[in-house]
Amino acid sequence: MAYKFIEIGDAKIGTIILIEGVACAVKSMDVSKTGKHGHAKVRMEAIGVIDGKKRVIVKPGSEKFGVPMIEKKRGQVLSVSEKSASLMDMESFETIEVPFIEELGGQIKESDQVEYWIMEGEKIIKRIA
Residue boundaries of the structural domains of the chain: 3-68, 71-128
Query: 102 versus 55: which is more confidently predicted?
Result: 55
Tens-place pLDDT, residues 98-119: 998 888 878 888 989 999 999 8
Contact 17, 46 (CB under 8 A): yes
Q: What is the pLDDT at residue 106?
A: 81
Contact 74, 113 (CB under 8 A): yes
Band of residue 34 on the pLDDT scale cut at 50, 70, 90: confident
CATH of 3-68, one of 3.20.20.10, 2.30.30.30, 3.90.550.10, 3.40.50.970: 2.30.30.30
Domain 3-68 identical in fold to domain 71-128: no
Band of residue 2 on the pLDDT scale cut at 50, 70, 90: low
Q: What is the pLDDT at residue 103?
A: 81
Superfamily grouping for domain 71-128: Nucleic acid-binding proteins (2.40.50.140)
Q: Region 57-83: what's the mean pLDDT? A: 90
